[in-house]
Structure 1
Amino acid sequence: MKSAVEQLARYKSVHLNPNNIKTHFVGVPLIIWSLFVMLNLIPVHFIALPEQGISVNVADVFAVGVLIYYAMLHMRLALGMLLFIMPVLYTSNLVAQHQYGLWIAIVVFVVAWVIQLIGHQYEKAKPAFIDDLNQLLIGPFFLMAEVYFMLGFENDLNKQITPLAITKRRELEALRKVAG
């Protein structure tokens, strides 16, 4: 498994433009939320104890799995992701119970991806997941890291990933020039 530094640097290499990052702060959370609405709509419950108000469904299991992955990468960022994912799980479950929950999720998902693609027009670089599907999981993790950096936390991590990201970006641009 690649380290948090490697994965964050790879992601940041195509997310250096501040306008692109701003669009991602809108688009990525909306994509995550809409995906969780859809996962909540899958009629599978691994544990269902309605009398106690306990139900563990596909969305819950997926969230736990992703949070474990994040914890393996970087525990402090994983704690931030836990704080983010808790209200996402709650609100997405509520919307999934709505008659038009699926349609709401689809519309939010499409709009969020349009926002993402607009961001990549600023960046003039293709999304990270095009070459590495794992980067779909790193996107939210990257945004949490950016929040930490803005708050003055994890400065050493930022000092590690930023130069690597710039180097990777230069390599990508050199390859693009050779291919073009």
Structure 2
Amino acid sequence: MSSYFRRQLADYVEYHRDPWNCAMHVFGIVFLFLAAILPLSLWSITIFGFQTSAAAIAVIPVLIYWFLLDFALGAAILGAAIVLLSAAAAIVGHTTTAGMWSLTAILIVVGVASQVVGHRVFERRQPALVDNPSHLLLGPMFVMAKLFIALGFRRDLAIIIQVHPQGAAS
């Protein structure tokens, strides 16, 4: 785990202390990721003789970024991305274009609403990405790190994520 990732994660954690906010982020991040890739799943692309979608190509740069931040978390997110890319392909294959765009709009509204509610209602502060736009890409890493910790893995991340905020009683 890079020192850059440790610093970014520690900063991100300060905006995500409330468990309900964290739960809202799990759904919000998944919905927003799916909303981002769903329209791109309409476009089929052939690269080096292999058929894929624009969605699969579009996620490659961010997957590389996540791998560079932390290989294990990046690999887990790759697995989740494959599931979501497959779901998007299935949705596109079984619905009309209008239905796909309607679902995309619903996913965006619900995804953004869950983020806003999580921060405003439970955390009582603005989202982390308002202060640091790069935090938009840290959300999936944070959610995956929380999952790894819950499963008993990655004590190094638990130290960063589960530390008490400054001034809080132990």
TM-score, normalized by the shorter chain, greater than 0.5: yes
Task: State how many pairs are aligned.
Answer: 162
User: Deviation per CA, 1:92-148, whole angstroms, max 9, x where unpaired?
Assistant: 122234211111111111012112211112101111111222111110111000000
User: Deviation per CA, 1:10-60, whole angstroms, max 9, x where unpaired?
Assistant: 21110000111111121111111111102324x4735285xxxx3233311
Give the match for residue 25 of structure 1: 26
Matched AA of 2:133: L
Q: Would you say 1:89 and 2:105 are equivalent positions? A: no
Alignment match of 2:72 (pick from 70, 76, 80) = 76
**Superposed counterparts of 1:60-71, under 5 Å:** 60-71=56-67
Change (3 A) 1:93 1:67: same
Aligned partners of 1:16 and 1:123 also within 8 Å: yes
Alignment match of 1:59 (pick from 55, 64, 68) = 55
Matched AA of 1:160: I
Write the distance in 2 (CA, Å) between the matches of 1:9 and 1:155. 14
Report which structure shows greater RCO (CA 8 Å, sep ≥6).
1
Aligned partners of 1:9 and 1:162 also within 8 Å: no
Write the distance in 1 (CA, Å) between the matches of 2:39 and 2:48. 19
Q: How much identity, in percent, do the aligned residues show? A: 27
Give the match for residue 165 of structure 2: 166
Write the distance in 1 (CA, Å) between the matches of 2:6 and 2:138. 11
Change (3 A) 1:141 1:14: same
Aligned partners of 2:18 and 2:122 also within 8 Å: yes
Write the distance in 2 (CA, Å) between the matches of 1:158 and 1:31. 26
Unmatched 5+ stretches in structure 2 = none
Give the match for residue 142 of structure 1: 142
Give the match for residue 117 of structure 2: 118
Q: TM-score, normalised by structure 2?
A: 0.85
The 3-state SS of whatever aligns with 1:20 is helix
Aligned partners of 1:148 and 1:154 also within 8 Å: yes
Write the distance in 2 (CA, Å) between the matches of 1:62 and 1:128. 24
Unmatched 5+ stretches in structure 1 = 171-180
Give the match for residue 174 of structure 1: none
Q: TM-score, normalised by structure 1?
A: 0.81
The RMSD of aligned alpha carbons is 2.1
The 3-state SS of whatever aligns with 2:125 is coil
Matched AA of 2:102: W
